Amino acid sequence: MPPESREEQSHRNKEERLAALFDSCYPRLVRYAYARLGNATEAEDVASEVFVRAFESLDSYRDRGVPMEAWLFTIARNMVIDRYRRSTQVERVSEDNTAEPESRDDPARHAEQRILMRDVRKALQHLTPEQREVVTLRFFGGLSSREVAMVMSKRDGAVREMQRAAVEKLRVLLGAERLI
Amino acid sequence: MSTGEFDRVLDECLDRMMAGETLDSCLDRYPQWADELQPLLRVYATTEKTAAGVPSAAAITAARMRMQQARAAHATRTRRSLPLTQRIFSRPLAFAATGSVAVIVLAMVLLLPVTGGAPTIPTSPDGTTPTAPSADETPTVPSESGTPADEEGVATSSADTVPATPQAEGNFVLLLSDAPNDISDFESLIISISTVHLKPEGGGPWVELTPQVQSVDLTRLQGDLAVEIWRGDVPEGDYAGVHVHVSSAEGRLAATGAAVEVSLPSGRLQVDSTFTVRCSGAATHFVFDITVHRNSTVQKAARYIISPQASESGAGIHYTAVEPHGASVGASGPEARDRGSPPNDTPGPPGADRPGKEPKAPQSGISPGRADIP
């Protein structure tokens, strides 16, 4: 059997690497999209669509530069931004379309969780768009600051600085609400 | 300590906490900065607790399937973009099989004058001689002994799709319907369908249908009402799903008359339901049910998403046929499953010229709607 050409091997390797990221990345993409969109169904749809779009443009992905994981979050970020642009709503999450995870076994804990989520979301709205992006990619998407820098086309140091400023602002906001 | 240095330490502690290390453990690593670090790390601990959006098992399964389809499509595209020689030699079995057939045919041609006999052409049981399909005949691709499938179970032949032929008396009928959910919010919800693909079971080229009716108002298709959007001949065989490609969705709210955004995130509706199409006997009627969901309890702030209703879709679903313009024309469809609302009719008798064809008797109780076809 003739060996695969280098081009074929490269295509196959990229396909395999991308497919292998599904288990670890899909839940994180959902969490990130949920933090930005505030709607569980939309978040799941965005995360699912990220992989479809990634395969559609896999040929344009180069191994050098941005790691594949960060590339997926770049696609997700662009999709979230597109949805905001298409939507007439401003970039905020209202209580109306916020779906919280169910915890029917413990209503008190569920209520507490709802209040906490509402206050954290409210606090996130007080950050600058870039600070909010850093926090959601980092805390909800689980990316490293270096990966966040790649997604946002920033320097690592700039991202760490935005992260510290964002966390300090959140500390004040959440501290005022006696949440920390 | 410089700000940059502190930023780096904070970043490292956050990484450690994300990896499962405790806040106290992080503070122990940097006792000299513990006072500054502690409140900031508590912010992370609090925020992280609100990280909702854990996907459901069903969502994960659906997303994985979509990814696998996208992967298969990418593999097919990639193969088609490779040079012909590379494509041939990367499939040694297919190459060997094709080569063997060519050698046998060549040997027969060469040996024919030597043996002096004419080749015996097999005949069918009724004594007629089978003829090779002409180029313009619809290929019967997804037969049980169809084209080999790759590891993903998706066709890897040179063509992704084969077009199906619309026919007045075809062996396949595709209908659209609408499950209740939030359709009552709308005065009209018109969706435009560009193409439909039928997925063959076990691989092979997908069958592409261009709908004869391309715009449909879903508000006219509630309950068991369904409109026929395509009828014609498709290759005989087993199928594993139907994909409907929606080019636009325009909704108008009943309460205000205002236009409202209706999104279909991927532009495609997909139902994975197995069905069989035969060349003889009754035509297969496949009802594709589309539904619309509101994502908020507050209507004025609502956004709507359309999606397929798999449980209400499939072949053998009972329905009441309506004309594209909204007038009902009769009932049809085998009653393998009922669509919830009690049928006000029974499946009609077979058509005069083809079993399974709907009777065209007018149906009362449905008001004619405005034209849905441009």
Of residues B302 and B68, more confidence is placed in B68
What is d(CA B190, CA B198) in angstroms, rounded to the nearest whole number? 23
Name the least confident of A138-152, B6-20, B104-118, B320-334. Answer: B104-118
All residues of chain B having their beta carbon less than 8 Å from the beta carbon of residue A19 are: 67-68, 71
- Interior/surface letters B17-36, b for 16+ CB within 10 angstroms, e for the rest: beeeeebeebbeeeeebeee
Domain boundaries, chain B: 3-48, 62-110, 161-332
What is d(CA B44, CA B18) in angstroms, rounded to the nearest whole number? 9
> pLDDT by residue (tens digit) across B244-257?
998 888 888 888 88
> pLDDT by residue (tens digit) across B112-122?
544 444 333 33
Amino acid letter for position B245: H
A-B contacts at Cβ under 8 angstroms: 175
Domain boundaries, chain A: 6-176
A42 touches chain B (CB under 8 A): yes
What is d(CA A112, CA A101) in angstroms, rounded to the nearest whole number? 12
Mean pLDDT of chain B: 70
Cβ separation of B46 and A179 shorter than 8 Å?
yes
pTM of the full structure: 0.48
**Cβ-based neighbours of A158, under 8 Å, separated by 6 or more:** A149
Mean pLDDT of A22-42: 90
The A residues from 134 to 173 touching B (CB cutoff 8 Å) are: 135, 138-140, 142, 144-145, 157, 160-161, 163-164, 167-168, 170-171
Name the least confident of A28-42, B51-65, B159-173, B195-209. Answer: B159-173
Mean pLDDT of chain A: 83
Name the least confident of A150-159, B189-198, B288-297. Answer: B288-297
Name the least confident of A94-108, B276-290, B350-364. Answer: B350-364
> pLDDT by residue (tens digit) across B318-327?
888 888 764 4
Q: Domain A6-176 maps to which CATH number in 3.90.1300.10, 1.10.10.10, 2.40.110.10, 3.30.450.20?
A: 1.10.10.10
